[in-house]
Every structure is written in C-alpha cells, then in structure tokens.
A and B are shown apart, each in its own frame.
Chain A
C-alpha cells in the first residue's frame, strides 16, 4: 500500500508530530531502526539524535559523525580492543583521541558530555577540548585512558565550572604526585556530583578531599585512589550527600608501633549505599556492619577478606543489588548470597590468586554448587560474570531454568583443578541459552573439551538475540565454528581466544555471520603465510594482524571490523593491516 502513496504521507505523520515523538525515543536500537525507514526519517533522526556510542573509533571518522549528527550532545567513543584490559594489546597500538577531539571541539556546538574509553588522550588534546568546551562541558569521562597528566586535570578543574562528572577510572595519569588539580576542583567547582579516580595511582591528599566534600555539596559519588582510611574520617563526617564511595586503603595489619589499628569509631554518612574498599581485612570489616542493611552495592574485589568474612558480611546485606568479589567467596559465600540477596541484579566473581603461596585465605572456590544456589536464589540477576573452578551441566541448566532476567552472562572455567566433574557442557549450554531468552551478551571461556563442536552448533542455533560473544577454548574442529556461524543472526561482536580453528574457518565464519561488525581472535591455527585470512576480505572490512613482539610476547592476534573510514594509517610496526586499499 505504501507504494501507492507519496513519501510525505506514507505514514500519515506530520513533521511536527514526528519530531515530538522522536523526542521520546532514546533507545539507540530504536533510533537506528527509525533512521532506516526513509531519507526523511533519517534526517529527522540525525538532527535530533542527542547521544551516540561509537564502539570502535576507527569504524568512522569525526567528519562523518559531524555530517550525520551535527546536534550531538553526548558521545561515547571506544578505541583499543577489550583485550587491552588484560595487557594483551601493544601499548602503541593506536587509539589516539586527537582527530576526534579536534573535530569535536571545532564543530560540535552542542556537545557537553564526552566519554572516551581505552584511548590515548594527550595534554594537548585536553587543552584543545577545554579551550572550546569549558563553558559547556558537563561530563568528562576518560575511562581506562592514558597519555595525559594531572596538569590537564588542573586545567579542567579550573576551567570547566559546569562539570558535574569527572571520571578517570583506571586511567594511567602522569605527574601522579601532584594533586593541585584536586584543590582547583574543590575551590572552583560547586556542582560536582561524581568524582572517580578509582584504580588510578595518582596521589590525593586527605585535606583536599575533605575540602572538596565541604565545597561540593552535591557530591554523590566519590571513588578515589589509595589513601589511608583513618585520614578520611573527617571527609565522611562532613558529607551528607555521599551515596557511593570506593578506594581508600586500610593500612597494613599492624601499624608501626606494632598495634592493630582501631577502626571502631569509623563513620559513614547515612546516605551511603555503595561501597568498595581496598585492602580491607577481617579486623576492619566490622566497621561496615552498621551500614550493611542499607547497602545496594558492595565491591570486595580488592580486599583481604576470607570466605568466612564474605559470608558474615553478605548475610547482613539483604538489599544488595550489586556484588563484586573474588572467587575467595567460595560456594559457601554464594549460598549466603542466594539466601540473603533477593534483589541482586549484578554479580561479579573475579578470579583470585592461583598461586597460593601460603595465603590460606584464598581457599575459596566457586563451582556448580554455588552457581545453582545463586540461580535459584537470585531471580532478578541480569548481569552475572563468574570464574568457576568446576562446573556441571546441571548448573548451567539451573541458570536456564531460573535466571530468566539475565541479559549478560559470562563464565570462565579456570584451569586450577586437574579434573572437571563433567565434560562436555554441550547440553548445559543448550539449556542455558534456551532458557535465558533475554541474553544479549554471552561469554564462555572454558577448557579444551568443555564445549564440543556439537555444543557450538547449539550456541549458533539458540543465540538469536545475542550481540556480543566471547568464546575461549571451545570446539574441536573447524566444523564447530562453521556450525556456530550458521546461526547467531544478531551477533555483532565476536571474540575468540585459544581455539583450534584455522584461519580459513575464521575467515569463512566472518563472512557467514550476517550481523558481524567486529572480530578479535587470539590463539588459532595460523597458516604459514597468513594468506587464508584474505578470504574474508570484503568492502569496508578492515583486517589487522597484530604480530607478537618483544614487548608483547604471546600469540598473534587478528582484529577485523567494519569501517567507513578506510584503513587507518597510524599503525605501529607490530600491527600489520591486511587491506585491499593499497593501489598500484
């Protein structure tokens, strides 16, 4: 019917109404769908799009972004592959923010929120950004970035008076002893709500932190680097609005006088809801007890707590929505979580120390027992990442049966135990994927033999909605990967590690996966020349080969992604582009 009507009337919606309706459409997936209806709608979306996430900075250019979305207010940009967080990507891989910051500063007149993740941001970049955007910048996130110094932080603090969010989580920042920036921030900014420099190693003096809290009365989230907890008492007594705190540092077990430190009088404001402490031990844990009932988030990843300590703490926290721990929590700890935390939405169980070295507090092990308990006890879980030491099909089936709200599930099977109770896990994975119908992200990093080619065919068949997948040590032949690639119709990003797939199969899979736009592979059966990768050559598909080097030993990596920008030109010697753009 639409074929008989003019484009302007085909949907019976006047432009004014269309504009009003679009104001209420924020979901980027909905926006993408709208922009594909017709040129007219595409223009409408382009003019009214407020936020864009670019998952791979080299997939487009700043100029192209400007052409399509000139009124952008907020941009999130990611560059280095995720593997960079595991020290697998050469430091000089690329990912400079310079071309982006130049264009954003010069041309995006509405931009006020910028989030750069895994990029290299220089002091010059920040100077350019501040010069152009100081009067509008509301939120700046330099998330796992590097290349800048605290001098730039001081410039930001001095100049960006409207900044309500400054986020530097896990960034590598030079001039780390200089905390003048913090004083500048405390004295120049009165609207700050979030300050995060958690897991950085820049120094922050307790005096300036206290000053900040005194002056920024709206501060809700404060996540800092290591700073002795006894020196932060004033800060916590001053603030009335703080909801989240992370960082600090509980001192060594004994102070210099040989006395155990006394934290009995420690105090947190009643507004506190989310906490994360560095190096907290058994003796200090008790300072949390009075606040446990109100806690929504608890991050114990960087503590010294034992399995028993985890049990005692969690037992007191019935309102937890987010819990992050190492596997020292053990199955016993997870059973307590299952009994206590009925509102839990996010659970992360990280891998603890493999090398025991006499540290008997690391005895905790997470297995199918803990998984089954949590699956049955925490029905609201939507994010669950867990490192397990042992696993059974029944545990995965239990997750499929009970965890109906999961949209992100990541399981790593550690290689500590010589024997796994049950392998392969094909049927368990089938049950999990059949049951968890909301799953969008799925990681299954196991041990050789834990997921057969048949299991991979189940994954292909049952992951209709999954957009991101990480698979490690799966499959036993190319057939497995090709069977996977016959399914997965929504898969956009695939990471493969430590699998026995040939280059040829990887290339064929990349061609077969209809939605794929990003592929990262490390550990595969390489051909003598690397030439079989060329089978996946196609328009706009950049293929990069990361060769092992002295500074980056290990195995070669393949990174391939769709790009409208063509091949990039900023390769270090260790990155070799395989791209048909070289012209003779």
Chain B
C-alpha cells in the first residue's frame, strides 16, 4: 500500500530527496513569474473548490477526480506506473498537478506539461536507485482488503484471559470435568423448584 511504502521511504532517509523536489518546484514557480506566496495560495485553492461554495456547485467530486492529474514521485512499481503518468500528462498543455510524496500532497494549478515532464524525469532519477533497495519494495496486497476478524473490547479481552488462567489454575489437568462436577454439586438448582432453565441441555442453544 502506498502509505506503507511512504513510511518506509521516510525511514530510509527520503528527506533529502523530498527537499530536492521542493527546491525544484519552487524554482519552476519563480520561472513562471510567481512568488512563493502566491504559489502557496494557489496550491491550497486548487484543492479547495468548496471554499467559496461556487465552484463546488458545478464541479462534482467525480469530475474533480477526472480533472486532477496524478503524478507519483515515487511510484509503486517503478517503470509501469510512471509510464502511465507520463502519457497522461502529455495530453493537455496545462493542468492541475497533484503530487503525493512522503505522505504529503501538493497541488499546483496550471502546471505546464513540459515542466511536468521534466519533473518526472527528476523523479525517475530519484526513484530508480531507491527502488532497487529491497527495503523499499512495497509488499503486494491481497485482492480483498477488508477484514474478517471482529475486534474485542480490550477490557473484556483482559478479563477473558484472566478467567482462563484462573480456571486453569484451579484445576490445570481436568478443567471441564471439575467445572461440571461443581455445577452438579451446587445446591441452588434444587432449592429453586425446577425452574425450566435449570435442566436445559446446552446443546439446545445451538439450533
């Protein structure tokens, strides 16, 4: 999963590459005649179409996904995904650019395609040696990502564990018979005058 991969990248000292990427981006923005201040505004605004409630009215979330190009600085399988992104960014001349890197997101409006291409080249030069490192290979995920286990409340879990060890401590060899003997020996059942549940076979519960 990407996030996991990103964590690993972080752990493997991805900070320098990240700083280099930021530096490069900043340089492009200056070249495009924007100060870093307006660049920041753009990056934020591009992601927030609902901010003034106008754009949100006519851009559906689906469309927004379509309009947003994704550029992965650190693709999962170097080569394949990169080629994809490469093709996509060649189509329009300028478009919004979204970068996922190191768990962070950058959005740049009106990013020129040729600059994006250069950026990709740079990313590729970073990614290639890193990807050869076994540490950074993302584990393949199973097709089904949803869970089967049902979590138990921590307090109850602790109780059930203690309960088991207590019963085991009471009679480590024959837990079940000891417990059963205790049940039959208790006087309560007799005193209660044959209430129906007292004699019910537990097997009935299983339907």
A556 engages B3 (CB within 8 Å):
yes
Which of these, A336, A539, A547, A581, contacts B4 with CB under 8 Å? A547
**B206 close to chain A: CB less than 8 A:** yes
B43 engages A312 (CB within 8 Å):
no
Which of these, A85, A306, A497, A524, contacts B154 with CB under 8 Å? A85
- If A584-B43, A584-B106 touch, does A282 touch B182 (CB 8 Å cutoff)? yes
Docked pose: A363 CA to B202 CA in angstroms: 6
Instruction: Give the residues in chain A near B156, CB-CB below 8 Å.
Output: 301, 326, 350-351
**A412 close to chain B: CB less than 8 A:** yes
Which of these, B169, B180, B188, contacts A282 with CB under 8 Å? B188
Which of these, B68, B152, B170, B179, contacts A534 with CB under 8 Å? B68
Residues of A138-189 whose CB lies within 8 A of B:
170
Interface string of B41-74 (1 = CB under 8 A from A): 0011001111100000000011011001010100
A360 engages B202 (CB within 8 Å):
yes
A531 engages B70 (CB within 8 Å):
yes
Size class of B's contact patch? 35 or more
CB proximity of B175 to chain A, nearest CB, Å: 5
Interface string of B10-44 (1 = CB under 8 A from A): 11000000000010011001000000100110011
A535 engages B153 (CB within 8 Å):
no
Docked pose: A483 CA to B176 CA in angstroms: 50
**A345 close to chain B: CB less than 8 A:** no
Docked pose: A285 CA to B183 CA in angstroms: 13
Which of these, B26, B50, B152, B169, contacts A86 with CB under 8 Å? B152
Instruction: Give the residues in chain A near B100, CB-CB below 8 Å.
Output: 529-531, 534, 578
Size class of A's contact patch? 35 or more
Q: Which of B87-95, B129-137, B193-201 contacts A (4 or more CB under 8 A)?
A: B193-201
Interface string of A520-536 (1 = CB under 8 A from B): 00111111111110111
Which of these, B3, B61, B68, B207, contacts A530 with CB under 8 Å? B3
B176 engages A332 (CB within 8 Å):
no
Instruction: Give the residues in chain B near A206, CB-CB below 8 Å.
Output: none
Among residues of A, the one whose C-beta sits closest to the C-beta of B207 is A390
Q: Which of A12-20, A49-57, A59-67, A500-508 contacts B (4 or more CB under 8 A)?
A: A500-508
B22 engages A584 (CB within 8 Å):
yes
Docked pose: A466 CA to B168 CA in angstroms: 45
A367 engages B207 (CB within 8 Å):
yes
CB proximity of B39 to chain A, nearest CB, Å: 6
Which of these, B43, B64, B166, B206, contacts A252 with CB under 8 Å? B166
Among residues of A, the one whose C-beta sits closest to the C-beta of B200 is A332
- If A500-B146, A528-B76 touch, does A86 touch B154 (CB 8 Å cutoff)? yes
A252 engages B169 (CB within 8 Å):
yes
B6 engages A331 (CB within 8 Å):
no
Among residues of B, the one whose C-beta sits closest to the C-beta of A577 is B103
A539 engages B51 (CB within 8 Å):
yes
Q: Is the interface of A mostly helix, strand, loop or mixed?
A: loop
**B163 close to chain A: CB less than 8 A:** yes
**A39 close to chain B: CB less than 8 A:** no
Instruction: Give the residues in chain B near A282, CB-CB below 8 Å.
Output: 182-183, 186, 188
Instruction: Give the residues in chain B near A247, CB-CB below 8 Å.
Output: none
Residues of B98-132 whose CB lies within 8 A of A:
98, 100, 103-108
Instruction: Give the residues in chain B near A415, CB-CB below 8 Å.
Output: 148, 150
**B190 close to chain A: CB less than 8 A:** no
Among residues of A, the one whose C-beta sits closest to the C-beta of B47 is A580
Instruction: Give the residues in chain B near A350, CB-CB below 8 Å.
Output: 153, 156
Which of these, B81, B151, B166, contacts A87 with CB under 8 Å? B151
4 smallest CB-CB distances across A and B, nearest first, come from: A576-B103, A358-B176, A363-B202, A86-B151
With contacts A412-B150, A445-B150, A539-B50 known, what are 10 further pairs, Cβ within 8 A?
A: A170-B155, A304-B163, A311-B198, A352-B160, A497-B147, A498-B148, A531-B70, A538-B49, A547-B3, A573-B11
B residues with CB within 8 A of A: 1-4, 6-7, 10-11, 22, 25-26, 29, 36, 39-40, 43-44, 47-51, 61-62, 64-65, 68, 70, 72, 75-76, 81, 98, 100, 103-108, 141, 144-148, 150-157, 159-160, 162-164, 166-167, 169-170, 175-176, 179-180, 182-183, 186, 188-189, 192, 195, 197-198, 200, 202, 205-207
List 20 A–B pairs whose Cβ atoms lie within 8 Å, in order of A's numbering: A86-B152, A253-B170, A333-B197, A359-B164, A359-B175, A360-B179, A364-B205, A421-B207, A512-B61, A526-B141, A528-B81, A530-B1, A531-B72, A538-B48, A539-B50, A547-B4, A547-B7, A554-B147, A555-B145, A576-B7
